[in-house]
Amino acid sequence: MLRYEIPPQICKTLINNRITKIIRRGKYLIFLLNNQSAVLCHLGMTGCFRISRDYVKRKHDHFIMGLKNKQIIFNDIRKFGFIKLYKASDIFSCSHLRKIGPEPLSENFNISYLKEKKLRKVSVKSFLMNQYNVAGLGNIYCSEILFDSGIFPEKNFSNLRLEEYKKILKSTKKILNQAIKKGGTTIKDYNISDEKVGYFKNKLKVYDRYDMTCFRCKKNIKIKKIFQNGRSTFYCVKCQK
Ligand SMILES: [Zn+2]
């Protein structure tokens, strides 16, 4: 049992149909099938997919899609992930995806969009963490983006200057592109490809560097750690105002 029960009719739907496309939206994966169905997946906290040519059962395997000569396996230790089935025509209006904000690397995440959201009286970190404002930015990346843009994470989003919105956009695209190149940050959770997985972890400038010297100012200033909405935030008092 995952977060929701895997719909029993999913097997019937998958058998004898083809996956025509796989789309990512925020932190969701969508498998589109040739019979106009869509399988929606969320990895939750510890979910991962692995591809195998010769399936060997591992603990916490919940779901296996058999392809011609390989298998796509969904494994989830803590079971916060889920798999649901929709009609393809309904997928983007479903409750999970309907309200998700623009993709951070898309052109829709731009200065006029941020200005439009300016009335949000929340901290800039909370703003970025909310997927209704911008899709799929995780906790690690939010700390890194704000460090790169030199903005104090508890600063109120509505009080930012135009220049700061521009910095956020620039840093978001920069950090995410670097991370994608390096294969992300979570070595243990992703098994899709064996190459270049999780090496961005070694490039983190502020996240998980509590009490260490700041890479940027190098003035013996130690990185601080605070909690915002129950999640850890790391920042430099000197570099982030
Ligand atoms: Zn610093």
d(CA 130, CA 157): 12
Say yes or no: 41 and 72 in one domain. yes
Residue 44 is assigned to a structural domain of this protein: yes
Q: Are residues 73 and 122 in the same domain?
A: no
Confidence band for 186, pLDDT divided at 50, 70 and 90: low
- How many A from CA of 187 to the centre of ligand 1? 27
The partner residues of 227 in beta bridges, in order of sequence, read 232
Q: How far is the CA of 216 from the centre of ligand 1 (A)?
A: 5
Which residue, among 180, 186, 14, has the nearest Cα to 83 in the 3D structure? 14
> For position 141, which CATH number holds?
1.10.8.50
Q: Identify whether residues 81 and 117 lie together within a single domain.
A: no
DSSP 3-state of 210: coil
Question: In terms of domains, do 116 and 78 share one?
Answer: no
Range of the domain at 145: 111-235
How far does residue 207's CA lie from ligand 1's centre (Å)? 13
Ligand 1: distance of its center to the CA of 95 in Å?
41
Do 29 and 119 belong to one domain? Answer: no
- pLDDT, residue 177, reads 93
Q: Looking at the structure, tell me whether residues 196 and 154 fall in a common domain.
A: yes
> Which pLDDT value is given to residue 147?
98
Q: In b/e form, how buried is each residue of 82-120, taking b as 16+ CB within 10 angstroms?
A: bbbbbebeebeeeebbeebbebbeeeebeeebbeebeee
Same domain for 160 and 202? yes
- The pLDDT of residue 193 is 45
212: CA distance to ligand 1 center in Å?
Answer: 10
Ligand 1 centroid from CA 219, angstroms: 7
Cα(167) to ligand 1 centroid in Å equals 17
Residues 115, 86, single domain; the answer is no
Which of 67, 93, 119 delimits the end of a domain?
93
Residue 47 has pLDDT above 90, yes or no: no
> Tens digit of pLDDT for each residue in 83-137?
999 999 999 999 999 999 999 999 999 999 999 998 888 999 999 999 999 998 9
Number of domains comprising the chain: 2
CA of 62 relative to ligand 1 center, distance in Å: 44
pLDDT class of 199 with cuts at 50, 70, 90 = low
Q: What is the mean pLDDT of residues 175-202?
A: 67
Say which residues have a Cβ less than 8 Å from residue 144's Cβ, sequence separation at least 6.
175, 204, 205, 206, 207
| Alpha carbons 216 and 26: distance in angstroms, whole number | 30
CATH number at residue 67: 3.20.190.10
Closest CA to 120 of 160, 151, 150: 160
| CA 218 – ligand 1 centroid, Å | 6
Same domain, 115 and 146: yes
Asked if the structure places residue 1 within a domain, the reply is no
| 35 pLDDT more than 50 | yes
With respect to residue 3, please indicate whether it lies within any of the assigned structural domains.
no
